């Protein structure tokens, strides 16, 4: 089943995070706050890398940049088990569902990141 940006904006049970084309967090839902520990004030305006373990930052930057540059998704619209990190610095497996949509000509990337 394929989700849309709107679906993830309406999602209430799974933690959702949305970033702009620079990878800056523009939206998190209550489930995200509950699971990951950051408040809206703390998370909004931060780089998405706060929820990514250090050793995955390079791959994230390269892959994210590639998508923004080409618009060709490699890992989107399919559930993936990847590592995630919470505010306390704990690293755990989480099911990632990532999608990208253009809003007013700019890419918006959204993901649900549910701990496994």
Q: Are strands 91-103 and 80-85 parallel, antiparallel or unpaired?
A: antiparallel
Q: Tell which residue, 33, 13, 6, has the closest CA to residue 110.
A: 6
Instruction: Supply 38's token pair.
Output: 């950051």
According to CB under 8 A, which residues from 8 to 27 bind other proteins? 21-23
44 in contact with other proteins (CB under 8 A): no
64 in contact with other proteins (CB under 8 A): yes
State which residue, 33 or 68, has the beta carbon closest to other proteins: 68
Strand partners, 110: 18, 99
State which residue, 2 or 74, has the beta carbon closest to other proteins: 74
31 in contact with other proteins (CB under 8 A): no
């Amino acid at each position: 089943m394929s989700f849309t940006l709107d679906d993830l904006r309406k999602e209430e049970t799974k933690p959702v995070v949305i970033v702009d084309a620079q990878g800056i967090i523009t939206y998190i839902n209550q489930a995200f706050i509950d699971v990951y520990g950051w408040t809206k004030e703390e998370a909004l305006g931060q780089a998405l890398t706060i929820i990514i373990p250090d050793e995955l930052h390079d791959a994230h930057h390269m892959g994210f940049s590639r998508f923004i540059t080409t618009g060709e998704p490699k890992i989107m619209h399919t559930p993936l088990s990847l590592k995630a990190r919470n505010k306390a610095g704990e690293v755990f497996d989480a099911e990632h569902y990532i999608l990208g949509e253009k809003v007013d000509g700019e890419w918006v990337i959204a993901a649900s990141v549910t701990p496994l």
